[in-house]
């Protein structure tokens, strides 16, 4: 059997998880199939790569040698594939825009504007709960742009090498049922929600360090947190079982309302990312300007929030400069 990169990934997965069973789950394989594959790899290399017992799997001396080489080869091959994908289109005009989004409030309007401005360009979209996944797809040349958001002053991982620019900065709102005692207020203090249960969609968002820190500053620890898809989140809020954080430009369905959190304890920064060495970099600035325009379009459905923005110029669409909007 000839050793292939996929075999090195198997060895690394077993070493990283410390167990063939856990590695099989990580790789999406049945344990017997992974065990048989490991045995074939060991035969090809001339000896056992792991010592296995009830405590797990630990690399042998031969295993450590293979792991040392694999940890150099796998990232190098990934880098080669990514650079080749970018170089393959470097000399061609961008004839398609491939966008990935994480709960983006402007994707529809951005696509609409670009389709009107560049009718000859093919536009595709891809949805993901994870900004890291989108960044990897952009770095690998499989997407051109990523639309994502981060809480507070956080920044996406620099590992993928993407350039990130701010499109807009918004205060985080709370989503309540219309029958909630605080639904009639213009804004709600976070501390007044200390007895509520919360619900959030999976993936990147404020329900992590930012939310916990904001609650701690307000003097309480949040109660139970449900996790559901967007439809499930809306149902739980509508049923009065939970409340949720939401973006300022979120349009609630009938029976639900959005309210500002007093003092803006949480901020959401909408970002556009691209790889600086990819063909998309040549059109990034006009796409960025279109994204800002799409955000401005979205404000038309939120006159109360638009009025609030006029009194709080640090929020809303971020001004462009000669080099684009502010770096994330």
What angle is formed at CA 170 by the lines to CA 165 and CA 172, rounded to 5 degrees?
Answer: 130
- Using pLDDT thresholds of 50, 70 and 90, give the confidence band for residue 205: low
Q: Is the pLDDT of residue 175 over 60?
A: yes
Query: In what helix (H) or strand (E) does residue 272 lie, and over which residues does it extend?
Result: strand 267-274
Residue 91: per-residue pLDDT:
46
Question: Distance between CA atoms of 291 and 317, rounded to whole angstroms?
Answer: 10
Q: Is the pLDDT of residue 158 over 50?
A: yes
Asked whether 302 and 227 are in contact (CB, 8 A), the reply is no
SS3 at position 24: helix
Q: What is the pLDDT of residues 254-311, one digit of tens each?
A: 999 999 999 999 999 999 999 998 889 989 999 999 999 999 999 998 999 999 999 9
Q: Is 171 left (phi over 0), alpha (psi -120 to 50) or beta?
A: beta
Nearest to 233 by CA among 222, 247, 221: 247
Nearest to 74 by CA among 4, 1, 157: 4
DSSP state for residue 123 in the 8-state scheme: E
What's the CATH code, domain 96-318? Answer: 3.40.190.290
Asked whether 260 and 308 are in contact (CB, 8 A), the reply is yes
Tell me the CATH class for 5-88.
mainly alpha
Q: How many CB atoms lie within 10 A of CB 35?
A: 15
User: What does residue 48 show for φ and ψ, rounded to 5 degrees?
Assistant: -70, 140
Residue 326: per-residue pLDDT:
43
Residue 267: per-residue pLDDT:
94
- Using pLDDT thresholds of 50, 70 and 90, give the confidence band for residue 321: low
Residue 214: per-residue pLDDT:
93
Residue 323: per-residue pLDDT:
41
Asked whether 48 and 35 are in contact (CB, 8 A), the reply is no
Asked whether 304 and 257 are in contact (CB, 8 A), the reply is no
Q: 174 has which bridge partners?
A: 245, 259
Looking at residues 199-207, what average pLDDT do you find? 74
- Using pLDDT thresholds of 50, 70 and 90, give the confidence band for residue 84: low
Cα 226 → chain centroid:
19
Question: Distance between CA atoms of 259 and 252, rounded to whole angstroms?
Answer: 11
Q: What is the pLDDT of residues 96-154, one digit of tens each?
A: 899 999 778 899 999 999 999 989 889 999 988 888 889 999 998 899 999 998 888 88
Mean pLDDT check: name the lowest of 11-25, 172-186, 206-220. Answer: 206-220
Q: Is the pLDDT of residue 210 over 90?
A: no
Break the chain into its structural domains and give their ranges: 5-88, 96-318
Q: Are strands 173-177 and 244-246 parallel, antiparallel or unpaired?
A: antiparallel
5-88 and 96-318, same CATH topology? no
Name, in order, each residue with C-beta under 8 angstroms of 36's C-beta and a sequence gap of 6 or more: none
- Using pLDDT thresholds of 50, 70 and 90, give the confidence band for residue 219: very high
Residue 328: per-residue pLDDT:
52
Q: Is 91 left (phi over 0), alpha (psi -120 to 50) or beta?
A: alpha
């Amino acid at each position: 059997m000839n050793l292939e990169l996929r075999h090195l990934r198997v060895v690394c997965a077993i070493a990283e998880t410390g167990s063939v069973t856990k590695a099989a789950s990580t790789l999406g394989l049945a344990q017997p199939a992974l065990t048989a594959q490991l045995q074939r790899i060991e035969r090809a290399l001339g000896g056992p790569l792991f010592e296995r017992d009830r405590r797990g799997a630990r690399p042998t001396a031969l295993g450590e040698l293979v792991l040392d080489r694999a940890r150099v080869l796998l990232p190098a091959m990934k880098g080669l594939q990514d650079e080749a994908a970018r170089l393959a289109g470097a000399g061609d005009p961008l004839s398609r825009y491939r966008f990935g989004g994480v709960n983006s409030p402007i994707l529809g309007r951005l696509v609409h504007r670009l389709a009107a401005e560049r009718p000859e360009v093919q536009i595709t979209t891809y949805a993901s709960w994870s900004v890291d996944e989108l960044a990897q797809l952009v770095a690998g040349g499989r997407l051109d742009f990523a639309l994502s958001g981060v809480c507070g002053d956080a920044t996406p991982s620099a590992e993928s090498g993407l350039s990130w620019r701010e499109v807009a900065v918004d205060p985080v709102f709370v989503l309540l049922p219309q029958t909630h005692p605080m639904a009639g207020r213009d804004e709600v203090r976070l501390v007044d929600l200390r007895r509520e249960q919360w619900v959030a969609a999976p993936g990147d968002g404020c329900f992590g360090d930012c939310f916990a820190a904001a609650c701690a500053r307000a003097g309480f620890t949040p109660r139970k947190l449900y996790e559901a898809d967007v439809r499930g989140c809306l149902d739980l809020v509508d049923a009065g079982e939970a409340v949720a954080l939401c973006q300022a430009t979120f349009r609630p369905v009938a029976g639900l309302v959005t309210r500002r959190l007093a003092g803006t304890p949480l901020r959401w920064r909408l970002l556009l990312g691209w790889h600086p060495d990819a063909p998309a970099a040549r059109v990034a600035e006009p796409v960025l300007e279109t994204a800002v325009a799409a955000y401005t379009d979205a404000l038309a459905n939120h006159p109360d929030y638009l009025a609030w923005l006029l009194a709080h110029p640090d929020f809303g669409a971020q001004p462009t400069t000669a080099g684009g909007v502010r770096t994330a």
